[in-house]
Structure 1
Amino acid sequence: MPESTTAETFLGFDYGAKYIGVAVGSRHSRQAEPLTTLRGSAKNPDWVGVSKLIAQWRPDALIVGLPLNMNGSGNPMTRAARQFGEHLKDRYNLPVHMVDERLSTLAARDILNEAGVPMRRHKKRLDQVAAQTILQTFLNELPGGPP
């Protein structure tokens, strides 16, 4: 469960080897919304794009999905996502919370299917909807309810 925080606005990230999905949400609404998908490699994320989003949304904290195996063990992407979170923290001087993202991509596919999004368009939205599910998990676990 996330620790108590007074943050109001959050950006959520689904970090991947080629793409980074981004979502936005707030403590007030307790809702996460898909925002965009940034291109970039695991070794060179789109820092210009991330900086623009942080300047635009002015989040109080950042949420990064932590890819784990189904048994809870780490994998190569686990380490890369942790490093991405550390870089976010160092670059933007904001709190970074890591959230278990197991099954987030599957949940994102289900959301897109239920919304009637054609399969050929899933790739464009999948990462940002995965970021939405990661951020929604975080928002659901915040202590207290809406005002």
Structure 2
Amino acid sequence: MPDPVTAPETVFGFDFGIKRIGVAMGNTMIGHASPLAVIKGEDNQTRFAAIKALIDQWHPAKIVVGLPLHPDGAEHEMTARCRRFANQLHGRFALPVELVDERYSSAVISAKRGEVIDDRAAAIILQQYFDQHPPH
């Protein structure tokens, strides 16, 4: 039986947006993030129902949320919205939530005009988390 301290855990990453939320997943054993889903819909009921379905399916042990900041590190309107979203995730699902600086994560992705890239942005955010917390 695996040691519960070192057993791999599933981790979700979120790229929060007003119109869409990108979701990625990975595990602590390999420390690799992969795009999982894009949640569409502007109302909280729709969004959180979709998030709950993913949580029920994958049983993550932790959630990582990208925190948008200005290039100089200053906060702005979306920073507050992401903090609120992270607090709601923690409150609704009783899972630990960590914020990760997402500056420049979208710059890493070159997408065609109109292409939905939110799940890939979430994967980059989650990968940044894994890179900062490598497996033991």
TM-score, normalised to structure 2, is 0.88
Task: Find the aligned partners of 2:109 and 2:9 in 1 and give their Cα distance.
Answer: 24
Structure 2 gap ranges (5+)? none
Task: Report the equivalent of 1:123.
Answer: 115
Higher helix fraction: Structure 1 or Structure 2? Answer: 1
Query: 4+ runs of 1 displaced by more than 3 Å?
Result: none
Task: Report the equivalent of 1:116.
Answer: none
Task: Find the aligned partners of 2:48 and 2:17 in 1 and give their Cα distance.
Answer: 14
| Number of residue pairs aligned between Structure 1 and Structure 2 | 130
SS in 2 for 1:46: helix
Structure 1 gap ranges (5+)? 113-118
- 1:42-61 alignment runs, 5 A limit: 44=44, 46-61=47-62
Q: Deviations over 1:25-48 (max 9, x none)?
A: 11111100001100122x636111
SS in 2 for 1:123: coil
Task: Report the equivalent of 2:128.
Answer: 137
SS in 2 for 1:28: coil
Q: Which amino acid aligns with 1:23?
A: A
Q: Deviations over 1:68-105 (max 9, x none)?
A: 00000001000000000000000000000000000111
- 1:1-147 alignment runs, 5 A limit: 8-41=9-42, 44=44, 46-109=47-110, 119=112, 123-124=115-116, 126-143=117-134, 145-146=135-136
Task: Find the aligned partners of 1:68 and 1:133 in 2 and give their Cα distance.
Answer: 16
TM-score, normalised to structure 1, is 0.82
How far the C-alpha of 1:17 sits from its partner, in A, is 1.1
Percent of pairs with identical residues: 39
Task: Find the aligned partners of 2:89 and 2:115 in 1 and give their Cα distance.
Answer: 25
How far the C-alpha of 1:108 sits from its partner, in A, is 2.3
Task: Find the aligned partners of 1:105 and 1:139 in 2 and give their Cα distance.
Answer: 17
